[in-house]
Amino acid sequence: MATGFSTLADNAIDLKDQTATFTNRQGRVYENVQLKRATADGLIYCDTNSSAMGMVHYPDLPASFLASLKIPDSMIAEAAQRQATLAAQKQQYDAAVRQLALEEKTNNVAKLATPAPTPAPAPAAPTRSTTTAEPKNKPTHRHHHA
């Protein structure tokens, strides 16, 4: 690859701390940042004012700016495909989470709306008979006949 930049072990391109000013597609201006390397997913930079580092994904950058850095089109296309795949996976995940939350909410509402089972009636207490019965322990009077 004859880009004028050295290639790092992870197929990143060393951008040799070039200073650049650019605007991403969302309108954020990166002013006088040092470009460290071009990775599989985007540009790694260092803000010279704050020493903070960050990455800007290729799809967020103007094609003309990437061309001026001689970033291979294949690298940009692969990064865009990866980003699209991740976005689709995130959408599927988010939809599944929403569905589970809806099912949970529906189940909870159903539990609240379902009346609790009515307990079985308690066995009836024994009732006293209205007829008078002889007490079991009533003393017996024996009459002795002589």
pLDDT tens, position by position, 56-66: 999 999 999 99
Rounded-to-integer distance, Cα 112 and Cα 70, Å:
63
Domains in the chain: ranges and CATH: 13-82 (2.30.30)
pTM, to two decimals:
0.57
What is the helix (H) or strand (E) element at residue 35, kind and residue range?
strand 29-38
Nearest to 48 by CA among 32, 29, 26: 32
Residue range 20-34: average pLDDT? 93
- Top pLDDT among 5 and 125 is at 125
146: tokens are 């002589």
pLDDT tens, position by position, 83-127: 889 989 999 999 999 998 888 888 877 777 777 677 777 777 776
Is residue 43 over pLDDT 90?
Answer: yes
Strands of the 42-47 sheet, one edge to the other: 13-23, 29-38, 42-47, 53-57
